[in-house]
């Protein structure tokens, strides 16, 4: 003890003496301006760091910096800014004032970006051993208004398809990542926001078809700084459970230190626009064309946001408030969202960093009934012709208009993180994150209107859902040098996840007056129930990294995962990973044209753990009846179930050349084994639910490539292109010899030897003709065969960014998908209900008669025209669903924006004293669509975002076309 006190006292004395000495030493200061080398624009918040001293200063709102009290000497000073290549300059500081103005060049290929490569690992893309895609969200959101994550990511990341389930505002989002990894789970990646694993559910409605509410709609894209995507097990192994479909890491905006004295930046933005039905050209196929076009309306888009950020060396903050009202193009569809965010970072000591992130959203979403539904707008105008006056087919328009279905969600996302660096090289990180959502969904059908189900009695349905989930992270990272040039870091940590979900609903009917609608006023109790689930996951992981002179990089690691389950044994599994990269350009002398060359290889495993109940032998639930409440078998599980394992090998090359081109090429191959397949038992066994078995196997492979081109760059003009292409394919290799598994419509299959979820049906070859040459039926294959996949084999995008006259910016994004198929169930039912124009015309041509079309002369049997018409007629017969499986390749002008930055102009006037920046932009989304699909739009999925059903169009709302105008002011 004595020794410790003496030691401490001595240290303090030495420190004081040192401080005293330095007070008398000669010092100087360094100041200057950091600008964009191309445009000359000042860079606000750029970092200036004197490497040897470990301190520096940020630039202020004018791009100026100033570092004081620098002992006289020569230092390496590093100038860096997000999106620009950093620059390290040797500067000699003399007593007094020293000046250096830095000009940074844009990092066109993004090699310097620091990306997340593992649960506790970050590295620059220059030396990363795995492919990580980054979307710099802030670059896009400053000009374009995004409804949700799907619009921000869609088309911008090779190998990741993100699409809404249709055009309904506020509905769910679905991801298609690479070739889909294993067969277990819902195929969706896990999503983190600032370290919080967030709820990514789709919340189902009152059970009449239609889209559910998507919980991702609560995330305001304007708050997002970056999105990193780990696309498969090779990169996501350390995230373990559920990481087989990738990991999406969303980082919200943080405050920037502005100048050495701190500063504040305030931005105000307003967006106004509208959405409209974009596919009028497709409605002429229906006899009810007029009704269809009349049902759509223009939907308003209105968004106001204000944010403030700033800070100093010790504390930084970012806060924002955003209000967005977006109406759909059908009545009764809107999203009205208010979101508030406050992020703080504090640096109380040099060895301590504290981060607090908090976001609150109040989101009101109104959803119309659609999809497989007779009280939906689309069902009424597309399926049947309705009255002569354009009225609805099945349910009165007034009745549909009177229905209200509104969800109100309050959502809080919060996290606290702490980083402590007790000794050099050692980082101790701890964080806790919370995602709490409280949703209430109200459906009101007023009395007096006839609606299927309640009749004219009126109905109220109230659903509440409280979801709380905690993410705990604890990890240590120790970086050290083994020998000269060989550095290493060791990571060890644990991650835990706890989720509690409570739901309940009440449904009543029999309301005497539409004026009073509290549920107590309903006469008949129809149904009510509640649900409760508490589940936990935990993982312990390690990673060992080696880096030799930035030439060879090696990483090995693994994670042991555990999850809650019914039964005595928690399922657990170990997922290993290893990756290696070599920077050829740092090893050998390459031709001068080659700026960067890296090869990488990575291997990793993840998978899906069984569902909570999967290990149960038999579960019983209570059922209500007129006999009382009795027990029924609710679920039959499999006590022998174990986790699925998905392995992935990833090979890649990254290549920059001619100082203008950046090419990334990644090939991957995935194998899944012991996939958990839910098998239907023969119902005669009495087991009605699907029973999980570890029998599945699937293989997939794919290629992803991105090409960045900085075609031209000068002070006033620049032209950049980003081109992405990806290919994927999959094949189910093992179902344990079981019969093929079909979806609910028996059109898609999991079957050994075919692609995942392929359409598998007997093909129709044409018409059968009798001896007189008359149409006599359908010539159909006896056995089913694979027709195609709902997952496109080829996808790609082309983005262009053109800057002219320094301040005018034009951005365009075109994306496409090829070799994909969609089941046009909408058309199938339109034919059944005699609303398909071609079908009716063919009936007339074949002499079969149609009361719905006039003026068509029947063809003569035996003629080529007749036979052709007979073949077409056969290919529309609805008894053979292969007829409605259509190739649905598409190409879309997804986004186009034009913006002008008036900041420079402002600064030449007095207004510049009050307003720091002014930017105007205008743009549009889904502006043009070209597709082989005959339906309203190929980008739909009737069963929402979470279902395994893919590529099925069943009266699903098509995506709308949107135009918007934005003005941004900075103070």
Query: Measuring CA to CA, how many Å separate 157 from each of 151, 598, 706, 809?
Result: 12, 20, 9, 22
How many residues of this chain bind other proteins (CB under 8 A)? 97
Q: Write down the least CB distance from residue 573 to other proteins, Å.
A: 12
Distance between CA 237 and CA 118 in Å, rounded?
A: 8
Q: Write down the least CB distance from residue 194 to other proteins, Å.
A: 23
- Is the Cβ of residue 634 or residue 733 nearer to other proteins in the bound state? 634
Distance between CA 929 and CA 861 in Å, rounded?
A: 39
Instruction: Tell me which of 308, 362, 418, 570 binds other proteins, using CB under 8 A.
Output: 570
Instruction: Give the x-and-dash track for 337-376 against other proteins (CB under 8 A).
Output: -------------------------------------x--
- Is the Cβ of residue 464 or residue 560 nearer to other proteins in the bound state? 560
Q: Write down the least CB distance from residue 118 to other proteins, Å.
A: 16
Nearest residue to 83 (alpha-carbon basis) of 103, 57, 108: 108
Which SS3 state, helix, strand or coil, does residue 840 take? helix
- Is the Cβ of residue 663 or residue 774 nearer to other proteins in the bound state? 774
**Binding of other proteins at residue 913 (CB under 8 A)?**
no
- Is the Cβ of residue 96 or residue 630 nearer to other proteins in the bound state? 630
What DSSP letter does each residue of 782-839 carry, written as one string? EEEEEEE-SS-SEEEEEEEEEEETTTEEEEEEEEEEES-EEEEHHHHHHHHTT-BHHH
Q: Write down the least CB distance from residue 778 to other proteins, Å.
A: 8
- Is the Cβ of residue 106 or residue 780 nearer to other proteins in the bound state? 780
Contacts of other proteins in 14-43 (CB under 8 A): none
Contacts of other proteins in 827-846 (CB under 8 A): 829, 832-834, 843
Residues 6 or more apart whose Cβ sits within 8 Å of residue 34: 42, 43, 46, 48, 59, 63, 65, 79, 81, 101, 102, 103, 104
Contacts of other proteins in 772-801 (CB under 8 A): 780
Contacts of other proteins in 478-497 (CB under 8 A): 478, 480, 490, 492, 494, 496
- Is the Cβ of residue 569 or residue 910 nearer to other proteins in the bound state? 569
Q: Write down the least CB distance from residue 679 to other proteins, Å.
A: 8
Judged on CB neighbours under 10 Å (0-12, 13-18, 19+), 868 is middle
What DSSP letter does each residue of 348-396 carry, written as one string? EETTEEEEEEEEEEEEEEE----SS-TTSHHIIIIIS---TTS--SSS-
Q: Write down the least CB distance from residue 565 to other proteins, Å.
A: 8
Contacts of other proteins in 131-190 (CB under 8 A): none
The piece of 147-155, 190-198, 682-690, 785-793 that touches other proteins (CB under 8 A) is 682-690
Contacts of other proteins in 843-902 (CB under 8 A): 843, 848, 879-881
Residues 6 or more apart whose Cβ sits within 8 Å of residue 6: none
The piece of 136-144, 296-304, 685-693, 954-962 that touches other proteins (CB under 8 A) is 685-693
- Is the Cβ of residue 684 or residue 909 nearer to other proteins in the bound state? 684
Exposed e or buried b for every residue in 337-366, given b needs 16+ CB within 10 A? bbbbbbbbbebeeeeebbbbbbbbbebebb
- Is the Cβ of residue 280 or residue 398 nearer to other proteins in the bound state? 398
Instruction: Tell me which of 537, 614, 648, 886 binds other proteins, using CB under 8 A.
Output: 537
Distance between CA 409 and CA 431 in Å, rounded?
A: 26
Residues 6 or more apart whose Cβ sits within 8 Å of residue 423: none
Beta-bridge mates of residue 794: 727, 818
DSSP 184: S
Report the sign of the C-alpha dihedral through residues 181, 185, 188, 193, in that order. Answer: negative
- Is the Cβ of residue 360 or residue 612 nearer to other proteins in the bound state? 612
- Is the Cβ of residue 143 or residue 613 nearer to other proteins in the bound state? 613
The piece of 587-595, 733-741, 800-808, 810-818 that touches other proteins (CB under 8 A) is 733-741
- Is the Cβ of residue 424 or residue 864 nearer to other proteins in the bound state? 424
Q: Give the number of C-alpha atoms closer than 13 A to the C-alpha of residue 157, restricted to the C-beta side.
A: 30
Q: Write down the least CB distance from residue 848 to other proteins, Å.
A: 7
Exposed e or buried b for every residue in 416-433, given b needs 16+ CB within 10 A? bbebebeeeeebbbebbb
Contact 313, 257 (CB under 8 A): yes
Contacts of other proteins in 407-426 (CB under 8 A): 423, 426
Contacts of other proteins in 187-226 (CB under 8 A): none
- Is the Cβ of residue 566 or residue 800 nearer to other proteins in the bound state? 566
**Binding of other proteins at residue 325 (CB under 8 A)?**
no
Contacts of other proteins in 538-557 (CB under 8 A): 538-540, 542
Contact 345, 312 (CB under 8 A): no
Beta-bridge mates of residue 164: 173
Contact 377, 391 (CB under 8 A): no
Cα 712 to chain centroid, rounded: 32
Instruction: Tell me which of 390, 740, 766, 861 binds other proteins, using CB under 8 A.
Output: 740
Q: Write down the least CB distance from residue 354 to other proteins, Å.
A: 22
Instruction: Give the x-and-dash track for 501-530 against other proteins (CB under 8 A).
Output: -----------------------xxxx-xx
Chain length of the chain: 971
Instruction: Tell me which of 520, 686, 737, 855 binds other proteins, using CB under 8 A.
Output: 686
- Is the Cβ of residue 121 or residue 960 nearer to other proteins in the bound state? 121
**Binding of other proteins at residue 745 (CB under 8 A)?**
yes
Contacts of other proteins in 582-641 (CB under 8 A): 613, 616-635
Instruction: Tell me which of 7, 9, 284, 681 binds other proteins, using CB under 8 A.
Output: 681
Query: Measuring CA to CA, how many Å separate 834 from each of 392, 467, 776, 849, 885?
Result: 14, 45, 20, 12, 19
Which SS3 state, helix, strand or coil, does residue 924 take? strand
Q: Write down the least CB distance from residue 542 to other proteins, Å.
A: 7
- Is the Cβ of residue 742 or residue 802 nearer to other proteins in the bound state? 742
Instruction: Tell me which of 318, 562, 759, 791 binds other proteins, using CB under 8 A.
Output: 562
- Is the Cβ of residue 200 or residue 877 nearer to other proteins in the bound state? 877
**Binding of other proteins at residue 378 (CB under 8 A)?**
no
| Residue tagged 């995506």 (tokens) | 959
Contact 619, 566 (CB under 8 A): yes
Distance between CA 915 and CA 267 in Å, rounded?
A: 10
- Is the Cβ of residue 13 or residue 482 nearer to other proteins in the bound state? 482
Contact 748, 789 (CB under 8 A): no
Beta-bridge mates of residue 716: none
Contacts of other proteins in 88-117 (CB under 8 A): none
Report the sign of the C-alpha dihedral through residues 756, 759, 761, 767, in that order. Answer: negative
Q: Write down the least CB distance from residue 431 to other proteins, Å.
A: 16
Axis-axis angle for helices 837-845, 864-874 (nearest 10): 140
Q: Write down the least CB distance from residue 429 to other proteins, Å.
A: 13
Tokens for 61, please give them. 């709102």
- Is the Cβ of residue 158 or residue 375 nearer to other proteins in the bound state? 375
**Binding of other proteins at residue 500 (CB under 8 A)?**
yes
Contact 732, 755 (CB under 8 A): yes
Instruction: Tell me which of 8, 18, 314, 450 binds other proteins, using CB under 8 A.
Output: 450
Contacts of other proteins in 215-274 (CB under 8 A): none
Beta-bridge mates of residue 25: none
Residues 6 or more apart whose Cβ sits within 8 Å of residue 424: none
Q: Write down the least CB distance from residue 636 to other proteins, Å.
A: 9
Contacts of other proteins in 687-716 (CB under 8 A): 687-688
- Is the Cβ of residue 96 or residue 744 nearer to other proteins in the bound state? 744
């Amino acid at each position: 003890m004595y020794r410790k006190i003496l030691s401490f006292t001595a240290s303090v004395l030495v420190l004081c003496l040192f401080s005293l000495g330095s007070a008398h030493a000669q010092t100087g200061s360094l100041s200057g301006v950091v600008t964009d080398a191309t445009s000359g624009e000042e860079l606000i918040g750029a970092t200036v760091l004197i490497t040897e001293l470990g301190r520096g200063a940020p630039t202020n709102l004018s791009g100026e910096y100033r570092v004081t009290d620098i002992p006289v000497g020569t230092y390496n000073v590093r100038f860096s800014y997000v999106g620009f290549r950093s620059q390290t300059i040797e500067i000699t500081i003399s007593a007094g004032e020293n000046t250096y103005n830095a000009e940074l060049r844009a990092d066109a290929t993004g090699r310097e970006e620091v990306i997340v490569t593992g649960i506790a690992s970050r590295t620059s893309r220059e030396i990363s051993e795995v492919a990580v895609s980054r979307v710099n969200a802030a670059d896009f959101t400053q000009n374009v208004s995004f409804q949700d994550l799907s619009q921000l990511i869609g088309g911008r990341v090779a190998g990741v398809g993100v699409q809404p389930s249709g055009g309904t505002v506020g509905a769910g989002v679905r991801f298609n990542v690479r070739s889909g990894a294993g067969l277990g789970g819902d195929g969706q990646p896990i999503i983190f926001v600032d370290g919080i694993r967030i709820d990514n559910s789709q919340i189902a409605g009152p059970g009449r078809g239609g889209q559910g509410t998507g919980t991702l709609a609560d995330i305001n894209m304007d708050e997002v700084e970056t999105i990193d995507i780990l696309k498969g097990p090779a990169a996501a192994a350390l995230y373990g459970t559920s990481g087989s479909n990738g990991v999406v890491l969303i980082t919200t905006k943080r405050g920037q230190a502005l100048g050495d004295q701190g500063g504040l930046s305030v931005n105000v933005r307003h967006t106004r626009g509208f959405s409209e039905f974009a596919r009028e050209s497709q409605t002429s196929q229906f006899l009810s064309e007029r009704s269809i076009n009349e049902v759509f309306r223009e939907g308003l888009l209105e968004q106001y946001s204000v944010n403030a950020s700033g800070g100093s060396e010790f504390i930084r903050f970012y806060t924002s408030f955003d209000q967005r009202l977006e109406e759909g193009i059908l009545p009764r569809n809107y999203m009205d969202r208010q979101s508030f965010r406050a992020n703080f970072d504090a640096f109380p000591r040099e060895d301590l960093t504290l981060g607090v992130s908090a976001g609150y959203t109040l989101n009101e979403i109104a959803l119309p009934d659609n999809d497989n539904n007779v009280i939906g707008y689309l069902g009424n105008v597309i399926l049947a012709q309705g009255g002569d006056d354009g009225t609805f087919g099945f349910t009165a328009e007034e009745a549909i208009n009177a229905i209200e279905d509104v969800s109100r969600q309050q959502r809080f996302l919060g996290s606290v993180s702490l980083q402590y660096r007790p000794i050099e090289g050692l980082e101790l990180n701890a964080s806790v994150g919370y995602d709490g959502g409280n949703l209430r969904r109200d459906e009101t059908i007023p009395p007096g209107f006839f609606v299927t189900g309640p009749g004219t009695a009126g109905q109220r349905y109230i659903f509440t859902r409280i979801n709380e989930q905690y993410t705990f992270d604890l990890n240590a990272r120790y970086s050290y040098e083994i020998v000269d040039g060989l550095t290493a870091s060791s990571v060890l940590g644990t991650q835990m996840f706890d989720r509690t979900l409570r739901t309940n609903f009440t449904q009543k009917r029999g309301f005497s007056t539409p004026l009073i609608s509290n549920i107590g006023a309903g006469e008949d109790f129809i149904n009510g129930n509640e649900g409760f689930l508490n589940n936990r996951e935990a993982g312990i992981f390690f990673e060992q990294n080696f880096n030799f002179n930035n030439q060879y990089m090696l990483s090995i690691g693994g994670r042991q995962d555990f999850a809650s389950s019914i039964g005595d044994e928690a399922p657990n599994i170990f997922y290993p990973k290893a990756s290696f990269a070599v920077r050829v350009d740092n090893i050998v002398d390459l031709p001068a044209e080659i700026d960067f060359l890296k090869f990488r290889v990575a291997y990793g495993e993840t998978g899906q753990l069984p569902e909570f109940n999967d290990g149960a032998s038999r579960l019983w639930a209570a059922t209500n009846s007129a006999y009382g409440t009795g027990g029924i078998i609710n679920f039959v599980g499999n006590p022998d179930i174990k986790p699925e394992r998905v392995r992935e090998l990833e090979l890649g090359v990254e290549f920059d050349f001619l100082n203008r081109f950046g090419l990334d090429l990644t090939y991957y191959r995935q194998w899944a084994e012991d996939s958990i397949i839910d098998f239907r038992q023969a119902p005669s066994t009495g087991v009605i639910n699907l029973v999980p078995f570890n029998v599945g196997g699937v293989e997939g492979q794919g290629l992803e490539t991105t090409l960045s081109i900085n075609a031209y760059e000068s002070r006033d003009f620049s032209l950049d292109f980003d081109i992405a292409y990806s290919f994927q394919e999959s094949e189910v290799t093992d179902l344990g010899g079981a019969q093929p598994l079909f979806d609910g419509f028996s059109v898609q299959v999991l079957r050994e030897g075919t692609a995942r979820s392929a359409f598998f049906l007997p093909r129709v070859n044409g018409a059968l003709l009798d001896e007189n040459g008359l149409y006599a039926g359908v010539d159909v294959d006896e056995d089913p065969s694979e027709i195609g996949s709902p997952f496109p084999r080829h996808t790609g995008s082309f983005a262009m960014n053109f800057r002219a006259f320094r301040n005018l910016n034009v951005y365009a994004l075109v994306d496409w998908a090829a070799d994909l198929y969609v089941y046009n169930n909408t058309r199938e039912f339109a034919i059944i209900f005699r609303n398909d124009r071609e079908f009716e015309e063919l009936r007339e041509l074949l002499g079969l008669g149609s009361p719905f079309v006039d003026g068509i002369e029947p063809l003569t049997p035996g003629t080529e025209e007749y036979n052709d018409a007979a073949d077409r007629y056969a290919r529309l017969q609805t008894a053979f669903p292969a007829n409605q499986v259509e190739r649905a390749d598409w190409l879309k002008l997804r986004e186009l924006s034009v913006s002008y930055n008036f900041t420079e102009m402002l600064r030449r006037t007095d207004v510049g004293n009050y307003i720091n920046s002014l930017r105007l932009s205008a743009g549009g989304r889904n502006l043009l669509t070209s597709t082989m699909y005959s339906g309203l739009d190929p980008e739909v999925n009737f069963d929402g975002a979470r279902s395994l059903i893919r590529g099925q169009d069943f009266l699903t709302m098509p995506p709308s076309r949107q135009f918007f105008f934005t003005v941004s002011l900075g103070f």
